[in-house]
Amino acid sequence: MVICAAVLVAGCGTTPSAGGQAPSPAADKSLILATTTSTQDSGLLDELLPAFTRDSGWQVKTLAVGSGQAIELGRRGEADVLLVHSPAAEEKFVAEGSAGSRRLVMHNDFVLLGPPADAAKTRGTKSAEALKKIADARAVFVSRGDESGTHAKEKDLWSKAAVTPGGSWYQSTGQGMGETLRVASEKAGYTLSDRATYLTQRDTLELEVLSEGDPSLLNVYHVIEMTKKAGDRVRPEGAKAFADWIVAAPAQQLIGAYGKDEFGQALFTPDAGADEAKLGQ
C-alpha cells in the first residue's frame, strides 16, 4: 500500500500534455558555452551570464579553456556556442563548414609583463623588440603553451622577433592565464597576458606592465554559433539566443561598464557592429 501511494503521489506531480507526454522541464533549456579562461578569470562571465539567463531563460554551462580547445569542442559538437579570441584559428574553423554565424563582440589588448627589476631591459620597448631582449638575456619566460588565443599571439610575436624560443629559460605551463601569471610571478619571469586578467589579479602578483600599446597586441573576441553539422547534440537555438544577446545593446553596455568601478577603466571595449579593420585605431 505504501508503494502504491508513492506511485500515485509521483504521478500527480506532472500534468500530461495534449499529446500524452509531460512537458519538458525548464532545466532542459540549457546550453554549453566554450570560452577562454580570460573571460572567466577576469570575472566578466560572472557579470554577463546571470543577466543572459534572466533575459532569455537559458541556463549556461561554461567550459573555460584556451581558444584552441574551445574551437575543438565546437568541432566535436560538444559545445553550442563559442566566445573566443584567436581570429586566424576562428576563420579557419568557420571555413570548415560546421559552424554558423561568427560575430564581433569586444576587444581589449595584450600586455607584456615582467618583474619590476626587468633584468632584460624591456621596459618601454615594442613587443617584438622586448621578446628579442628576453631571449638574448635568457631571462625566464613563462608561456601558456596551451594553443589558446594568448599562446597564438605569443607565437606570432616570437616570429616577428625572429626568435625560436626554447631551452631552460622558456617554460610552459600548459594552463590558463591565471595560473600562468602566478607561475611567472613566482619565478620572477616574463609572460604575455590579456590586460583584463592581469588587472583582476595584479594585487597578488610581482609583475608589472613593461610593453604595451602596439597595434599587434590587439585582442579581439568573437562569438561563434555552432550548428547540427557539428553533431546532433548541438542546440543551435540556444547558440543563437546567446549570440544575439551578447551583441545586443544591453549586453554591450554591461561589457563597456565592466571594471570601471573597481579598476578605474573598462576591461573590455564593446564592438558589436563595428568595422573590425578599424579597431585599435
Q: Could you tell me if 58 and 245 are in contact, meaning their C-beta atoms sit under 8 angstroms apart?
A: no
pLDDT at residue 17, as a whole number: 39
Question: What architecture is domain 109-217?
Answer: 3-Layer(aba) Sandwich (3.40)
> Do 30-108+219-272 and 109-217 have matching folds?
yes
Tell me the per-residue pLDDT of 186-237, one tens digit each, with 9 for 90 and over: 999 999 999 999 999 999 999 999 999 999 999 999 999 999 999 999 999 9
Written as one string, the DSSP assignment of 148-207 is -HHHHHHHHHHHHTT----STTEEE--S-HHHHHHHHHHTT-BEEEEHHHHHHHGGG---
- Does residue 273 carry a pLDDT above 80? yes
Tell me the per-residue pLDDT of 133-163, one tens digit each, with 9 for 90 and over: 999 999 999 999 999 999 999 999 999 999 9
Residue ranges covered by each domain of the chain: 30-108+219-272, 109-217
SS3 of residue 87 by DSSP: helix
> Could you give the maximum distance between any two Cα atoms of the chain, in Å?
83
pLDDT band at 80 (very low <50, low <70, confident <90, very high): very high
pLDDT at residue 27, as a whole number: 52
pLDDT band at 280 (very low <50, low <70, confident <90, very high): confident
CATH topology (fold) of 30-108+219-272: D-Maltodextrin-Binding Protein; domain 2 (3.40.190)
Residues near 175 by beta carbon (within 8 Å), at least 6 away in sequence: 144, 146
